């Protein structure tokens, strides 16, 4: 578990499937503005259980790490942050993705979660670089990444199909200045 003053993040477990489903259902229309189209099975307990099982397998294979974001006091699941597409060898990098319950936006929780995930990626996984892609109009998400130390690198044209439409994404990245080339 990674923790700070107001939130904890830890790898999702199958016991979180019901809470994850509730989060997805309560935010379905909000999340859909920023995600690929989801099939109906995604919005079932079985769909979330399978999703978590896949994330557990990815972590075992060092291919990705999916963390739940929990309020520290109530232990309520309020979001997800994922280090995906982990590449070793000469890249030592991954992609960062995240989402947060609409009701929790503006409280600084996502900035805290990004900082915790970056610290994990750099200190525990010994990664050199983390990238994130954000639709250019999503100023709040860009601000979160910049507060966590990411810098803008450029626009990837029509690179992700969001809500059924190809969308440009602002690419941001952060580099591990303390990367250990010989861990």
pLDDT grade for 3, boundaries at 50, 70 and 90? confident
pLDDT at residue 183, rounded to an integer: 67
Alpha carbons within 13 angstroms on the beta-carbon side of residue 23 total 19
Q: 140: part of which helix (H) or strand (E)?
A: helix 139-147
What are the tens digits of pLDDT across the range 105-152?
A: 999 999 999 999 999 999 999 999 999 999 999 999 999 999 999 999
Total domain count for the chain? 1
Instruction: Tell me, yes or no, whether 168 lies in a domain.
Output: yes
Instruction: Tell me, yes or no, whether 182 lies in a domain.
Output: no
Q: CATH number for the domain including 31?
A: 3.40.630.30
pLDDT at residue 97, rounded to an integer: 97
Res 43 pLDDT > 80: yes
Q: 57: part of which helix (H) or strand (E)?
A: helix 45-60
pLDDT grade for 182, boundaries at 50, 70 and 90? confident
The residue-averaged pLDDT of 153-163 equals 95
pLDDT at residue 180, rounded to an integer: 74
Res 82 pLDDT > 70: yes
What are the tens digits of pLDDT across the range 58-77?
A: 999 999 999 999 999 899 99
What's the residue count for the chain? 183
Instruction: Tell me, yes or no, whether 70 lies in a domain.
Output: yes
Evaluate whether 105 touches 140 at the Cβ level (below 8 Å): yes
Percentage of the residues of the chain whose pLDDT score is greater than 90 = 92
Query: Which residues on adjacent β-strands are paired with residue 151?
Result: 173
Q: Which domain holds residue 152?
A: 2-175
What single DSSP character describes residue 104?
G
Average pLDDT, the chain: 95
> What is the spatial distance between Cα 3 and Cα 71, in angstroms, rounded to a whole number?
10
The residue-averaged pLDDT of 34-43 equals 94
10 Å Cβ neighbour count for 130?
26
> What is the spatial distance between Cα 55 and Cα 151, in angstroms, rounded to a whole number?
28
């Amino acid at each position: 578990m990674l923790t700070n003053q107001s939130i904890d993040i830890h790898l999702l477990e199958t016991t979180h499937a019901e809470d994850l489903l509730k989060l997805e259902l309560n935010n379905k229309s909000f999340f859909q503005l920023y995600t690929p189209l989801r099939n109906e099975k995604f919005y079932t307990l079985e769909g979330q259980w399978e999703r978590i099982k896949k994330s557990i397998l990815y972590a075992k294979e060092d291919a990705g790490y999916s963390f739940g974001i929990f309020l520290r006091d109530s232990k309520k699941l309020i979001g997800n942050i994922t280090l995906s597409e982990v590449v070793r060898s000469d890249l030592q990098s991954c992609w960062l993705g995240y989402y947060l319950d609409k009701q929790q936006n503006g409280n600084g929780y996502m900035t805290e979660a990004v900082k915790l995930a970056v610290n994990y990626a750099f200190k525990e996984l010994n990664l050199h670089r983390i990238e994130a892609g954000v639709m250019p109009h999503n100023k709040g998400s860009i601000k979160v990444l910049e507060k966590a130390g990411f810098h803008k690198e450029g626009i990837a044209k029509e690179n992700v199909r969001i809500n059924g439409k190809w969308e440009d994404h602002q690419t941001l990245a952060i580099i591990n200045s303390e990367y250990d080339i010989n861990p």
